[in-house]
Chain A
Amino acid sequence: MSDYKIIFSGPVGAGKTTAIQSISDILPVTTDEQASDMTRNLKNGTTVAMDYGLIKLPGTERIHLYGTPGQERFDFMWEILSNGGIGLVLLINNQRPDPFGDLHFFLNAFQAFIKQGKVVIGVTRMDQAEMPRIEDYHLQLENSGVKIPVFDIDARIRKDVSILLEALLYSLDPGIEE
């Protein structure tokens, strides 16, 4: 059995729970028992209270989807929890008062992912708040040293979440299609 994980992070109401829900094979859980894969090597299967979803692939491989709890943005354990993850899906809620502040906060919190180009950004709720625009986000990212995909997405729409993940996979390896 091979286990891999993808992390979903971002501020309150950005759609992390919803995004995981829209692509997970199981009903996502926010509680403990089922998240035990990540913590299997811990004593008594104690767990981390995060959103959790799962994608089962043909064969034995499984992709675990973890969402950081948004209201605990000051938690300092994220990088630790996301250690070893394939990549990071950062969702930014365009309707919050300071989306760029949120953006930089999370970029900083996940520096390791950013530097390795293991990140994609989905800006949500643009249907309710048009500004700032996607190009404004790109301007904010100009100094990050990597070209990060930034898409306008609605976390409730599977296709949107899917294309974001696809971009993540191609960023990791443009040669996937053989």
Chain B
Amino acid sequence: MSDQQASPIRVAAIGMDQRQRNALVMLFNSHCHKRYILVEEESSEICIIDLDLYGGERLWQEFRQRHPDRPLILASLKPRQVENGHTLFVKKPIPIIQLMNAIGQLSQTLNNRTAEQQIDPVASPETTPSLPQKPRHPAAPVTRKVASLMTEAQETVFIGTSPDIDPDNQQQLAKIYYDPQHYLQGHVQQALNQATRYNKNVTIEGPWPAIDLIIANQQIMVDAGEKHLRPFCTVPDATREVELRFHEQHKPTTGRKEYSVYAFIWQLALWASRGRLPSGTNLNQPIYLRRWPNFSRLVVTPHALAIAALWSRNPRSLIDTANSLGISQRYVFAFYSAAHALQLAGETRRAVDTLLEPPVIEQAKHRGLFSKLLNRLRG
């Protein structure tokens, strides 16, 4: 056993079930270059006991009676002071690295001992040595475009059809902005701010179907479906007579359409922006993402997940985002407008963020595989 390459160190897992033992075998095979092998207690050099197993404490005591100085690793959820020259403690759940360190440390103890005495030869280990690991071929690149989440008609409604602009062309630049304050989006945002501040429900009154915000539930209730509501959301200044009426009570929910207030504002922002940006947004200032939107409950525009993933790594300007992902600007603008309306995204203010160019997107080893899986999930 002095030659680690030739003969692996024999480790036993006492009292553990087959599943736990399998896990160890997998670990030894995949991680440890076969320096260790799982065996039964009789033939082992190092043992592991899970103190949280039924009867774990007893297993430990009996083990020590049988083998007063065999190197032992004790694992438990509760931290324990049990360490001595040949016993180590690791806290569960055990990070692989800690388990490996513990085994490595006890192997060293063994090595030191063999320098002094010869350990009896032992019976052959019960577990077969591992087969070589399967080679992993990188997935073939996929050319098929990832399926879109939206139909073309939906896309026109939420994203519009504006072509990319040249940020240095003032005429084109003038066309990409809208002012949320002039849309129903802005009124609902304002209503939410005030309702939060005064902790009161509010009704947003105007020519549209009645919109109630129930602050405790962060909920919106509307008297009509989207078909009736949308026309009021897409034109600026649909009315100048908007009133916020605060109250404790609210109408019963029957027959009304319910939204989470965030999903509602998100949708209104998409309708209003149609691929444009809140006025004043700087195209070259890096954009940060405060946190991922709760996409499972929101309208997911094309490429929104990619943009969110990108910004959650590093701030990046709107123009650079479109270029890096190779997508039309309107997708980036639409997502930004919606995320900005919920205060999930904004322009960075720190000088440091503009100092360095954001890194190129590194292609994952399995990009082809990921594309296939995506298509499958959306398909």
**A interface with B by C-beta (< 8 Å):** 2-4, 23, 39, 41-43, 46-50, 55, 57-59, 61, 63, 74-81, 83-84, 86, 108-109, 111-112, 122, 130, 133-135, 138, 146-153, 159-160, 162-167, 169-178
**B interface with A by C-beta (< 8 Å):** 18-20, 22-27, 29-31, 50, 52, 75, 77, 92-96, 99, 127-128, 130-131, 133-134, 136-137, 139-140, 142-143, 145-146, 217-218, 289, 291-292, 294-297, 300, 303, 305-310, 312-313, 324-327, 361-364, 366-367, 369-374, 376-378
Return B276 CB to nearest CB of chain A, in Å: 22
Q: Contact check: which of B128, B130, B217, B289 meets A147 at CB < 8 Å? A: B289
Return A151 CB to nearest CB of chain B, in Å: 4
Return A166 CB to nearest CB of chain B, in Å: 6
Whether B94 and A175, one on each chain, are in contact in the complex, defined by CB atoms closer than 8 angstroms, is no
* Given known A-B contacts A58-B372, A149-B295, A160-B296, A175 and B325 have beta carbons under 8 A apart: yes
Return B309 CB to nearest CB of chain A, in Å: 4
Closest 6 CB pairs of A and B: A173-B364, A77-B23, A147-B312, A170-B309, A174-B309, A109-B93
Whether A76 and B372, one on each chain, are in contact in the complex, defined by CB atoms closer than 8 angstroms, is no
* 24 intermolecular pairs with C-beta atoms under 8 Å apart: A2-B369, A4-B369, A41-B133, A41-B134, A43-B127, A43-B128, A61-B369, A74-B77, A77-B20, A79-B93, A79-B96, A80-B26, A109-B93, A135-B291, A138-B291, A147-B289, A148-B292, A162-B377, A163-B305, A164-B296, A166-B305, A167-B309, A169-B374, A177-B325
Q: How far is the CA of A80 from the CA of B303 in the complex (A)?
A: 34
Whether B372 and A61, one on each chain, are in contact in the complex, defined by CB atoms closer than 8 angstroms, is yes
Q: How far is the CA of A173 from the CA of B363 in the complex (A)?
A: 7
Whether B294 and A112, one on each chain, are in contact in the complex, defined by CB atoms closer than 8 angstroms, is no
Q: Contact check: which of A41, A76, A138 meets B75 at CB < 8 Å? A: A76
Q: How far is the CA of A160 from the CA of B294 in the complex (A)?
A: 11
A residues in contact with B296, CB < 8 Å: 122, 151-153, 159-160, 163-164
* Given known A-B contacts A43-B127, A80-B96, A108-B93, A176 and B294 have beta carbons under 8 A apart: no
Whether B292 and A149, one on each chain, are in contact in the complex, defined by CB atoms closer than 8 angstroms, is yes
Whether A172 and B20, one on each chain, are in contact in the complex, defined by CB atoms closer than 8 angstroms, is no
Q: A174-B309, A175-B367 are in contact. List 19 more A-B contacts (CB 8 A).
A: A4-B366, A42-B26, A46-B18, A47-B22, A59-B140, A80-B27, A80-B96, A122-B296, A152-B294, A167-B305, A172-B370, A174-B307, A175-B306, A175-B324, A176-B146, A176-B306, A177-B303, A177-B327, A178-B143
A residues in contact with B136, CB < 8 Å: 2
* Given known A-B contacts A84-B30, A172-B364, A166 and B374 have beta carbons under 8 A apart: yes
Whether A83 and B19, one on each chain, are in contact in the complex, defined by CB atoms closer than 8 angstroms, is no
Q: How far is the CA of A78 from the CA of B96 in the complex (A)?
A: 10
Q: How far is the CA of A80 from the CA of B327 in the complex (A)?
A: 39
Return B302 CB to nearest CB of chain A, in Å: 9
A residues in contact with B294, CB < 8 Å: 134, 150-152
A residues in contact with B312, CB < 8 Å: 146-147, 171
B residues in contact with A75, CB < 8 Å: 19-20, 93
B92, B310, B370 pick with most chain A CB within 10 angstroms: B370
A residues in contact with B363, CB < 8 Å: 173, 175
Whether A74 and B310, one on each chain, are in contact in the complex, defined by CB atoms closer than 8 angstroms, is no
